[in-house]
Structure 1
């Protein structure tokens, strides 16, 4: 399932209740949804995001946006040097190299997790 209005979510299945439970990722506000079937998940997800945005508009507050795209990273000086060397060997900026390396790792880690978005 694709992100909706810039928001993505994670989903788990409760075997006892026979329900899918979802939660929007990347914001401090809590947006959840549930569905009985996988086919109902996109609508439940969209409805919850729409309800959140409507609530923010009625309350006069700005909705939280998931992730700005700016990330601060702390590393040891040795790791910093090794990453810079690896980036240079690949004719890439350190930022470009880190984005690709972290993206590859995130894809590996998320490969076995059911995600929406």
Structure 2
């Protein structure tokens, strides 16, 4: 089962609201709040696309950059001991710590 919608690089999650008797959703992985809803699967999909389009239009009208999901960097808090181990391993391999983390993620995610 997949409750994730994708449109123009944005991802939206969808849930059923028993209280409102509709499907409701939120655009994920951005700081701005974008909500959408619909009474059917087709309606919530269209509402999601419309919400993303309105958001992008609003940003253009205000001459601001729209928030983008997955900018390519993120902070990871691993604790001092693991940080030290990773830094030492990166040095042993002759790569930057960032490269070691990228390699580990690719290996773990089979990417």
> Normalized against structure 2, the TM-score is what?
0.71
Gaps of 5+ in 1: 105-117
Q: Structure 1 residues 9, 2: CA separation in 2 closer, same or farther (over 3 Å shift)?
A: closer
What residue is the counterpart of 1:98 in the other structure? 105
Matched position secondary structure for 1:23: strand
- The 2-side partners of 1:11 and 1:34 are apart by 8
SS in 2 for 1:17: coil
- Any runs of at least 4 consecutive aligned residues in structure 1 with deviations exceeding 4 A, and if so which? none
Structure 1 residue aligned with 2:82: 79
Segments of structure 2 that go 5 or more residues without pairing to the other structure are: 94-98
Partner of 1:44, secondary structure, is helix
Q: How many residues align?
A: 98
> Which moved further from structure 2: 59-68 or 18-27?
59-68
> Which structure has more RCO (C-alpha within 8 Å, separation ≥ 6)?
1
* Larger radius of gyration between Structure 1 and Structure 2: 2
SS in 1 for 2:7: coil
Deviations 1:40-89 (A, max 9, x none): 2221110000001111111121111112121222323443427x59xx8x
Superposed CA RMSD in Å reads: 2.7
Report the counterpart of residue 51 of structure 1 in structure 2. Answer: 54
Is 1:13 aligned to 2:16, yes or no?
yes
Aligned to 1:36: 39
Higher strand share: 2
